[in-house]
Every structure is written in structure tokens, then in C-alpha cells.
């Protein structure tokens, strides 16, 4: 590819060591797509004839098809002499169509190619991840719907706080996933510009119409600066950072399910299809899926951390250091599959509604509702808090819940207590007093469920298509 000016052969160990084909084989479909787009631009610039362009593009398609299978991918990875995926495609082209294959590299550089391939690759990974996140979010909504008005305790400091609808708890995770989707979409929108035509650093040496390739590849526009375009890997880091949030959210869900599936909680029944046994203890059913899920964020974050350090202090423009960022992007290819497993796991979860209800009804989780009752009787909240606190202490000593106290007993803590106190602190009132947007009142959750579905559907739509071609826009009178 570049041996012309060299007198000595490369050290064979170094030659192997600096190769990227062992991992950038992942990028064959992107390399082929970008090469086809470049051929079209060369044709428009008069460097290739129509028939040469057609022959090149067909040969490129044939190369992609020949290596789509697992064996085909392995053949790319193990290629004896290709240094990287760009070299591989060039060698394969020459093998298929002779010296015409060598014409493709006119007016381009591997620096712009890898920048383009990686953008296309990450854009696709983003689409896959968003689809998987949306599927998981829908599974959570489905489970929330199935839970109806079933309740559970909520926790702060892992101490019982107030009763909530199970649906309300599940929808909290959906909010996290929706933010994840929007972060990934932001990343996709920012990366969706085409580096082709940037050359190795200063721009192509041919007057290429850069919109041709940009449009064919579904980019929003060509990148505005060749030095930035060939050395920018912000999008790799941004993608990994966005995935870090996905991993964090997954780990929180994983931790809660793991905890709630313990005998001590007994809230969640682990689906057998997603659990494992113990080779030693015959009675065990272990939550391996959620445990692995909880740990996966480590890999994702490590990849983001690695890229941060790889990019730090790099002078403009292309440096071979950038090659190292690729493996970090490939290291998180497991994420969409992981998410789709979690979606199926979520759909298979069953709750012990009785245990959850009992836990929600014991431990004075209605104390805030009780204080609110006094507030409606005109007591300042601070005073109401104090009065209910006293009542709770009294009930604790007696070993009963607030609703088991007689009105006479309550009256010693405040003259405001009346017979309607008991209906104000039953389970439904305790839920429904949270009648605010985002609260756990039953009708609020019902509304939230309906809205959430639509929000998932709207947010999960991602389409990458270039806007009107400048000439077309001009012809359309824009
Ligand atoms: N394999 C290289 C990479 O991933 C491609 C670009 C090579 N460019 C160069 N000037 N050596 O970065």
C-alpha cells in the first residue's frame, strides 16, 4: 500500500503487531458502502467512467456478500497480508477486477475512510441499541399494566418509605431508558456528517462533490473541516459515555430484582428460564442474569475510560493512536443483545403481590398520609409531623399499626383526629393523596402508562437520510 519509499522490509513482528485487520474486519460492510459512495463521487468528477463505476460498485458488493457469513468474516480477520480493512478491500478488488481496483483510491485516504466507517458503524450500533432499549421499555410498560393497582413499599435509604403502585416503580425505569434513548439520538445527530473528501488531512486533491457520498450514505452533510474530520473520535467517546448510562440503569434494575428475589424480600419470582442452579446446593435458584447485568457496566465504562485516555493530548490531525479507539467501540457490541435478553427476562417476571402488599401495609408507610390528614384539618405540617411521630411511637410500643389505634388513643396526640382519619390512611388513600403529575395516585399512574407508550414509540424512531441535495433544493426553488 505504501512501500514505495522504503528500502528495508518491515520487522515481521512489528508488522503483525500494528495491524488492525484483526479487529477492523468488523467494518467490512461500512468500508464497502463508503467505497461505493466514493466511486460515485469519482464518476461525477470524471475520474471513472460510468461502466468502470458500475463494475467497481458491483465488485464491492460481491466482496461484502462473500464475507457476510461467520466463515467469511473469519477469512477477513485472518487474511495473510492485509494491514487493515481498507487494504483488504483494495486487495480483494484487484483480485476480482484487476487494475481498475487500484483506481478507487484516487482522491481519498485511509484517514478519511476509517473516520467514515466508524461513524457508519456507530450509527448502526446506536440504532440497534435504541431498538433494544425501546423493546425493554415496552416490556416494562407491559409488566406495569399487568400489575394493575398492585402495590409495593417504596424505599429511601433502603428503609420502607411510602406505598407506591408497582407500575409506578416500573415506570421509573422507563424514564431512565427514555433518557438513554435521547442521549443516543443526540450522539447520532452529532456524528452524522460525512468525512469523505477530507483526504489525509487537508482535503481531497480532486474537486469532488462531497455531497454525493454524504447523501448516498445517509449523512446529514459533509463534515466542515478536513483536519477535524480525519482526527475526530469524539463520537466514539460520546457513544460509549451514553452507553455507560445504559449500563448504570441496567445495573440499578438488576440490583433491585436481585434483592427483591431474596427470601428476605420475597417480592419477585425469578423465571426459571433465566436462572441457574448450584452444582453444590440442590435447593438454589440463582439470579445469574441480573448479576451479570449488574456487572456489565464495568466493561462499558472501561471502554469509555480507555478512549478518553487515548484521545487526550493528541495533536492534530490523524495519529495512529486513533486506531486504538476502534476496539473499545467493538467491545460494547454485546449491549443490544444484553438489552433484548433483559426485555425477555422482564416479560417473564412475576411478582408476589401479597408479600408486596403486606410489606406496604406494615411499618407505618401511611405516616405521611396521616400527617397530610392533619394538614387538611388546619394543622401546620411541622406540627402535624410531630403529632404523627408521637402516634407512631405510641403504636410501635403497642406493636400495632396506626389504623389499629382507637380514636380516643389518637386524640391524646391532637384534638384534630376524627373518625374520617381511618379512611384517610387506608392503602388507597395513601396512594391517591399523591395526586400530582408524576405521583403515584392511581389515576395518575394510569395516565402515565398511556402517555409513556406513545413517548417510547415517538422517541424510538430513528431515521438517517440526507436532506435535500443542494442542487435538488435549488431546483425545487428552495
Ligand atoms: N487502520 C488505521 C486506523 O484504524 C487506518 C488509518 C491508517 N492511516 C494511516 N495514516 N496509517 O486508524
Say which of 81, 278, 415, 423 is annotated catalytic.
Answer: 278
Q: Which three cell numbers stand for residue 356?
A: 408486596
Determine whether 157 is an active site residue. yes
What distance in angstroms lies between residue 85's CA and the mean position of ligand 1's atoms?
10
Whole-number Å distance between alpha carbons of 350 and 165: 15
Task: Quote the pLDDT of residue 478.
Answer: 35
Beta carbon of 244 within 6 Å of any ligand 1 atom: no
Beta carbon of 323 within 6 Å of any ligand 1 atom: yes
Whole-number Å distance between alpha carbons of 376 and 52: 83
Contact between 448 and 182 (Cβ < 8 Å):
no
Task: Quote the pLDDT of residue 472.
Answer: 46
What distance in angstroms lies between residue 321's CA and the mean position of ligand 1's atoms?
9
Whole-number Å distance between alpha carbons of 350 and 131: 24
Choose the residue to mutate in 30, 112, 118, 323 for probing ligand 1, maximizing ligand atoms within 8 Å of C-beta.
Answer: 323
Whole-number Å distance between alpha carbons of 117 and 111: 10
What distance in angstroms lies between residue 322's CA and the mean position of ligand 1's atoms?
8
Choose the residue to mutate in 26, 76, 84 for probing ligand 1, maximizing ligand atoms within 8 Å of C-beta.
Answer: 84
Beta carbon of 35 within 6 Å of any ligand 1 atom: no
Task: Quote the pLDDT of residue 283.
Answer: 87
Cis before 317 (ω within 30): yes
**Which structural domains are found in the chain, ordered by start?**
10-103 (1.10.275.10), 110-201+221-358+457-477 (1.20.200.10), 367-425 (1.10.40.30)
Whole-number Å distance between alpha carbons of 327 and 26: 10
Task: Quote the pLDDT of residue 468.
Answer: 45
Beta carbon of 115 within 6 Å of any ligand 1 atom: no
Please report the atom of ligand 1 found closest to the CA of residue 83: 1
Ramachandran angles phi, psi of 159, nearest 5°: -110, 140
Query: For ligand 1, atom 2, which residue shows the shortest CA distance?
Result: 323
Whole-number Å distance between alpha carbons of 224 and 205: 16
What distance in angstroms lies between residue 16's CA and the mean position of ligand 1's atoms?
14
Determine whether 423 is an active site residue. no
Residue 106, classified by CB atoms within 10 Å of its CB into exposed (0-12), middle (13-18) or buried (19+), is middle
3-state SS assignment for residue 154:
strand
Choose the residue to mutate in 1, 23, 28, 110 for probing ligand 1, maximizing ligand atoms within 8 Å of C-beta.
Answer: 110
Compute how many other C-beta atoms are within 10 angstroms of the C-beta atom of residue 149: 14
What distance in angstroms lies between residue 162's CA and the mean position of ligand 1's atoms?
57
What distance in angstroms lies between residue 110's CA and the mean position of ligand 1's atoms?
6
Beta carbon of 387 within 6 Å of any ligand 1 atom: no
- Block means of pLDDT (10 residues each) for the chain, length 478 residues? 80 94 97 97 97 97 96 96 96 97 94 98 96 98 98 98 98 98 96 97 95 96 98 98 98 98 97 89 90 97 98 98 98 98 98 98 96 96 96 97 96 96 97 97 97 95 60 43
Whole-number Å distance between alpha carbons of 36 and 286: 50
- Dmax over CA atoms of the chain, in Å, equals 102
Task: Quote the pLDDT of residue 280.
Answer: 85
Q: What is the chain's alpha carbon radius of gyration, rounded to the nearest angstrom?
A: 30
Whole-number Å distance between alpha carbons of 321 and 343: 37
Beta carbon of 346 within 6 Å of any ligand 1 atom: no
Whole-number Å distance between alpha carbons of 450 and 448: 5
Please report the atom of ligand 1 found closest to the CA of residue 322: 12
3-state SS assignment for residue 89:
helix
Q: How many CA atoms lie within 13 A of 426 on its CB side?
A: 5
Contact between 34 and 117 (Cβ < 8 Å):
yes
Amino acid at each position: 500500500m505504501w512501500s514505495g519509499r522504503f528500502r528495508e522490509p518491515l520487522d515481521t513482528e512489528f508488522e503483525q503487531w500494528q495491524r488492525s485487520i484483526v479487529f477492523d474486519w468488523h467494518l467490512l460492510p461500512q468500508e464497502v458502502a463508503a467505497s461505493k459512495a466514493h466511486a460515485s463521487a469519482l464518476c461525477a468528477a470524471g475520474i471513472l467512467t460510468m461502466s468502470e463505476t458500475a463494475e467497481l460498485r458491483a465488485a464491492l458488493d460481491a466482496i461484502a456478500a462473500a464475507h457476510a457469513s461467520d466463515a467469511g468474516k473469519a477469512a477477513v480477520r485472518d487474511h495473510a497480508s492485509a494491514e487493515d480493512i481498507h487494504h483488504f478491500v483494495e486487495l480483494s478488488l484487484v483480485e476480482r477486477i484487476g487494475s481498475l481496483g487500484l483506481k478507487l483510491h484516487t482522491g481519498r485516504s485511509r484517514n478519511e475512510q476509517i473516520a467514515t466507517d466508524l461513524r457508519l458503524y456507530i450509527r448502526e450500533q446506536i440504532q440497534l441499541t435504541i431498538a433494544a432499549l425501546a423493546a425493554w421499555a415496552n416490556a416494562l410498560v407491559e409488566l406495569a399494566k399487568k400489575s394493575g393497582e398492585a402495590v409495593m413499599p417504596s424505599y429511601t435509604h433502603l428503609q420502607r418509605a411510602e406505598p407506591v403502585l408497582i407500575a409506578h416503580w416500573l415506570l421509573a425505569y422507563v424514564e431512565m431508558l427514555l433518557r438513554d434513548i435521547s442521549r443516543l439520538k443526540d450522539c447520532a445527530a452529532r456524528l452524522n456528517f460525512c468525512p469523505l473528501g477530507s483526504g489525509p488531512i487537508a482535503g481531497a486533491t480532486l474537486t469532488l462533490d462531497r455531497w454525493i457520498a454524504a447523501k448516498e450514505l445517509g449523512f446529514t452533510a459533509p463534515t466542515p473541516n478536513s483536519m477535524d474530520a480525519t482526527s475526530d473520535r469524539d463520537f466514539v467517546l460520546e457513544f460509549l459515555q451514553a452507553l455507560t448510562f445504559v449500563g448504570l440503569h441496567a445495573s440499578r434494575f438488576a440490583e433491585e430484582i436481585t434483592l427483591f428475589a431474596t427470601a428476605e424480600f420475597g417480592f419477585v419470582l425469578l423465571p426459571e428460564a433465566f436462572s441457574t442452579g448450584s452444582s453444590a446446593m440442590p435447593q438454589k435458584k440463582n439470579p445469574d442474569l441480573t448479576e451479570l447485568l449488574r456487572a456489565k457496566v464495568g466493561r462499558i465504562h472501561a471502554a469509555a475510560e480507555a478512549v478518553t485516555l487515548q484521545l487526550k493530548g493528541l495533536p492534530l490531525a490523524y495519529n495512529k493512536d486513533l486506531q486504538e479507539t476502534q476496539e473499545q467501540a467493538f467491545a460494547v457490541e454485546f449491549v443490544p443483545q444484553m438489552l433484548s435478553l433483559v426485555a425477555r427476562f422482564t416479560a417473564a417476571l412475576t411478582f408476589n403481590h401479597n408479600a408486596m402488599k403486606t410489606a406496604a401495609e406494615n411499618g407505618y408507610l401511611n405516616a405521611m398520609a396521616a400527617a397530610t390528614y392533619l394538614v387538611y384539618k388546619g394543622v401546620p405540617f411541622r406540627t402535624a409531623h410531630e403529632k404523627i411521630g408521637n402516634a407512631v411511637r405510641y403504636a410501635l410500643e403497642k406493636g400495632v399499626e396506626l389504623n389499629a389505634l382507637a380514636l380516643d388513643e389518637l386524640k391524646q396526640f391532637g384534638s384534630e383526629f376524627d373518625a374520617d382519619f381511618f379512611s384517610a390512611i387506608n392503602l388507597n388513600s395513601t396512594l391517591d393523596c399523591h395526586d400530582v403529575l408524576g405521583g403515584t395516585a392511581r389515576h395518575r399512574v394510569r395516565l402515565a402508562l398511556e402517555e409513556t407508550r406513545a413517548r417510547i414509540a415517538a422517541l424510538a424512531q430513528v431515521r438517517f437520510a440526507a436532506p435535500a441535495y443542494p442542487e435538488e433544493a435549488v431546483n425545487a426553488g428552495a
